[in-house]
Structure 1
Amino acid sequence: MYEKFIVNRSNWALDDWLNWQENLNPNQIDLSLDRIKEVKEKIRFNQPEIDIYLVAGTNGKGTTVHLLNSILCLKGLNVGTYTSPHLKKYNERVTYNNKPLEDTDFIDSFIEIENVRGDVPLTYFEYGTLAAFLSLNRFSCDAWIIEVGLGGRLDATNILNPNVSIITNIALDHQEWLGNTVNEIASEKAGIISSNAPCVCGALNTGEIIGEIANRENTDFYLIGDDFSLSNGVNGSVWSSKSKTIEKIRIPNHWAQGEKNNLAIALMSIEACNSDLLPNTEALNQLLGSFSIPGRFQIFDYRIPWILDVAHNPNAAINLRERLGTIELTDKNIMIVSLMKDKDLEEFVSLFEDIVAKWVVCTMNTPRSLSGDEISKRLSEKGLFDVTVLNDPDEAFEYIETINHNYNAVIVTGSFEIVGPCIHWHENKK
């Protein structure tokens, strides 16, 4: 079997593997742990005996992962991370000490999986998740920080037994797979809670439900507002838990409440795992002074400011709108927007109507994307008529160059699938 496999795929590049994986399972989303557990057992994967942080939630997962990673690296730990989706290159999904893995790291893991997979139809995400864990296992990590893909209970990342389970927040999203109420969604996401491992929760609206699940799992439960908080102090912000305090924290100027909550959650998670790793005020402020994440309120100055943010549901849009309020914006801005079919387009755009004078819409390069024509039709039904439809993101970006002298800023949002191409477009313009 191994020799036959090598003959068939020995010269495959990373993109060849990824394209092939997309067609291995006909369902792009097929929530189940059965397939990945079966292959995990065949490959004899054992998770390392290190600290593992597993991060779920509707929004803020990526920011929480980046904050945890930055703090732990600052303390001198060797840290592996796994996040999804990626903005520009697949390699971004797995990092070791802030460096994306090489193509060969992934390919070696893909070969290892394929040699035992048999006819198990792993999804694209399941294949990538198992490969990420195999790849990180080859490095001398002190900690892993793993972002849940979708939900929690049946997500591929839930084959791990974390040292800390983290739930950032709960809002309506992915109802087709997770349930139609925040309580149902909370129950699905709380499926990552592991017996005897603490759970840190930033979801006040469903804290009681998640706390009950944590209690059934016999684990310590820390809820934002009750057990820890980030509040305004005399000389900056103050993070505090029942036993620790960090004062005089300088919060970045363009942060909204979401980012503040993510910081509070990250610090509580570190305390719950190993309080000796909490940073002092000086170290934390140094970190926050240069903290940024690609695609999260990322600003390019190209003739006029371009503000890029991967907000992709109404809850994230609320946070983006708050962040936009921290800078001087008039009501004469352009928004390039496209969303997935399962998102609430009308509620999303309603949050920006007061600052957007022109809408530019397009179809993203994914079958899950709303079409530009459909977005335009629905915006018109809302009474928003200054809408231009382009075929794809690149056409939308190029179109802006012909009209941007009439506007103050360009806001690009709605999905990783439009922000990622925009970052690539800007980098090519340099």
Structure 2
Amino acid sequence: MNTLSDWLAHCERLHPKTIDMGLDRVKAVAQRMGLSFECPIITVAGTNGKGSTCAMLESILGQAGYRTGVYTSPHLVHFEERLRLRGEAVKADELLPSFARVELARTADGDEISLSYFEFTTLAILDCIAQAGVDVAILEVGLGGRLDAVNILDADCAIITSIDLDHMELLGPDRESIGREKAGIMRTGRPVVVSDPIPPQSVIDHAAAIDAELWRFGRDFNYSGDKQQWSWAGRDRRYSGLAYPALRGANQLVNASGVLAALTALREKLPVTAQAVRNGLAFVELPGRFQIIPGQPTLVLDVAHNPHSVAALTANLDAMGYYPTTHAVFGAMADKDLAPMLARIMPLVDRWYFTDLPTPRAASAADLQARCQALNPGVASASALFADPLLALRAAVAAADPADRIVVFGSFYTVGGVLKEGVPRLQAQHLKP
């Protein structure tokens, strides 16, 4: 296996299950590898806001002069996006030695251990971070927390973002069950920042049960603000007159508040200046999170894919002002709670462009249209079906007037299918004369 594509194809063939909850196998391979970190580790779990939280941590710590290693998933276009070293996506060739080390450990002494695609790639990325000599590792937890592969490491600080209903077949039927799984990333005696303003009681109870150092939104830290600026206050620290984060959306202040709480909790290990905080929030970037591509018609990209994130997207769209027509390119996974997602955003959408996605988990464009029609029969005459997101976007651009708005949402695959064109080309294609 000489290329990253070879290794990823190998990983896809290894294990009978796409998702296989449990840490025994991945922990055994990590031990064979001697995987360990000399730097502080921050883990980030939650239903929504994980990517934004990781990006803000990375930006502020980078501005403070630290060499950062950031693992997030899934990717939008290229696998290499899952690992950023010092603010840049890793080169494919840099990953190859780590994939080889995982394979060597996995098959050592003829005692082969089966790993899922996610487990194998997570170990390779963690190994690459450990080998890179970074000053801090920022690790997004993929699914749940307690049994996620990232949780084989003991974090110096854990962050739990907003918790909502998602992946219920694996994590449980309600917020309390899901919160209990997320709480598994906590460690005794170490800080855990809970930035969800109304967290499940199971999260609070677990922190008390294991004696973690709980930092809770609204009690240990909070924010206030007006239209021009915002301020943050936490334990023995305050930031005033901050510019709003470069990531758009009202929900980003909640995420930013959790980030500042984590950095305050870690100030002995990772001190940062107020200027690093200001610059980090001002310059942070994260594709696909209420990302507005300049041009006409207005183009908004958002990976919102569950009721909570679609509610945030709807609120952000509503705050943008008046557009004669809103066109929506929508593709989603079949296992999502689609009815509340569609019901929430439907009053803002005038025309729908339903798209198939390149994964067996996805709902077909026809199925999405049928579900939408069940909520609003008028959708039948105001919608069309497409084989992929880029075709759907091109149809929306052709139909839209310059003053209109196009929203692409529903899945990482939907937004990624559009972003594979590259932002400059995308911008050029959707400009109206």
Q: Structures share a fold, TM > 0.5?
A: yes
Matched residue type, 1:13: T
Distance 1:147-1:359 versus aligned 2 partners, 3 A rule: same
Aligned to 2:7: 17
Q: Deviation of residue 242 (structure 1)?
A: 2.5
The residue that corresponds to 1:5 in the other structure is none
CA contact (8 A) 2:296 2:403 kept: no
Where does residue 66 of structure 2 map in the other structure? Answer: 77
The CA deviation at 1:236 is 2.7
1:106 to 1:392, Cα distance in 2 relative to 1, 3 A: same
2:193 to 195, 200, 210: 200
Which one is further off, 247-256 or 140-149?
247-256
Distance 1:206 1:234 in 2: 27
Inter-partner Cα distance in structure 2 for 1:26 and 1:404? 45
Is residue 2:267 matched to residue 1:277?
Answer: no
Structure 1, 135-144 or 180-189: larger mean CA deviation: 135-144
Corresponding residue of 1:259: 252
Q: Distance in 2 between matches of 1:109 and 1:235?
A: 46
Shift of 1:304: 1.3
* Match 1:411 to one of 391, 407, 411: 407
SS at match of 1:162: coil
1:110 matches 2:106: no
Counterpart of 1:411 in 2: which secondary structure? strand
Cα contact 1:413–1:419 (8 A) shared by 2:
yes
RMSD over aligned CA atoms reads 1.9
My pick for the range that moved more, 313-322 or 210-219, is: 210-219
State the alpha-carbon separation in 2 of the partners of residues 304 and 371 from structure 1. Answer: 27
Partner of 1:424: 420
Match for residue 29 of structure 1 among 7, 14, 19: 19
Q: Deviations over 1:97-155 (max 9, x none)?
A: 10111112211111111112123221111011100111011112110000000000000
Identity of paired residues, percent?
31
User: Structure 1: 5+ residue runs without aligned partners?
Assistant: 1-8
Residue from 56, 64, 68 that aligns with 2:53: 64
TM-score by length of structure 1 reads 0.93
Partner of 1:362: 355
User: How big is the shift at 1:302?
Assistant: 4.7
Counterpart residue number, 1:41: 31
With 167-176 and 387-396 compared, the bigger mean Cα shift is at: 387-396
Q: What is the one-letter code of the residue matched to 1:114?
A: E
In structure 1, distance between residues paired with 2:200 and 2:175: 11
Q: What is the deviation of 1:234? A: 10
Shift of 1:191: 0.5
Deviation string 1:222-267 (CA, Å, 9 cap, x unpaired) is 1100110111269731100131111111224874342111000000
Identify if the C-alpha distance between structure 1 residues 361 and 407 changes in structure 2 by more than 3 Å, giving closer, same or farther.
farther
Equivalent residue of 2:266, what SS?
helix
CA offsets 1:380-420 (integer angstroms, 9 cap, x no match): 11113212111122221232243123870110001110101
CA–CA separation in structure 1 for the residues paired with 2:73 and 2:227:
38
CA distance in 2, matches of 1:49, 1:229: 32
2:431 is matched with which residue?
none
Count matched residues.
Answer: 418
- Gap regions ≥5 residues in structure 2: 429-433
2:186 and 2:207 in contact (8 A); partners too: yes
**SS across alignment from 1:274:** coil
Displacement after TM superposition at 1:274 (Å): 1.5
2:121 partner letter: G
